[in-house]
Amino acid sequence: MTAPPKPARVVVLISGSGTNLQAIIDAREAGDLPVEICAVISNKDKVQGLERAQKHQIPAIVVDHRQFSSREDFDARLQYIIDAQRPDIVALAGFMRILTPAFTRHYEGKMINIHPSLLPKYQGLGTHKRALQAGDREHGATVHFVTAELDGGPCILQARVAIDTADTEQTLAAKVLRQEHRIYPLAIKWLAQNRLRMRAGISFLDGEPLPTGGQQYQ
Ligand code: GRF
Over its length of 218 residues, how does the chain's per-residue pLDDT go in tens digits?
677 678 999 999 999 999 999 999 999 999 999 999 999 999 999 999 999 999 999 999 999 999 999 999 999 999 999 999 999 999 999 999 999 999 999 999 999 999 999 999 999 999 999 999 999 999 999 999 999 999 999 999 999 999 999 999 999 999 999 999 999 999 999 999 999 999 999 999 999 999 999 999 99
Q: Is the CB of 185 under 6 A from ligand 1?
A: no
Based on the residue annotation, tell me whether 115 is a catalytic residue of this protein: yes
Residue 132: other Cβ atoms inside 10 A? 15
| Most ligand 1 atoms within 8 A of CB, residue of 13, 19, 20 to mutate | 20
C-alpha distances in angstroms, 118 versus 93, 99, 101, 143, 185? 17, 21, 24, 9, 18
CA of 82 from ligand 1 middle (Å) equals: 20
C-alpha distances in angstroms, 38 versus 32, 74, 76, 88, 125? 17, 21, 19, 10, 29
Question: What pTM was computed for the model?
Answer: 0.97
Instruction: Supply angle C-alpha 95, 101, 103, rounded to 5.
Output: 60
CA of 170 from ligand 1 middle (Å) equals: 13
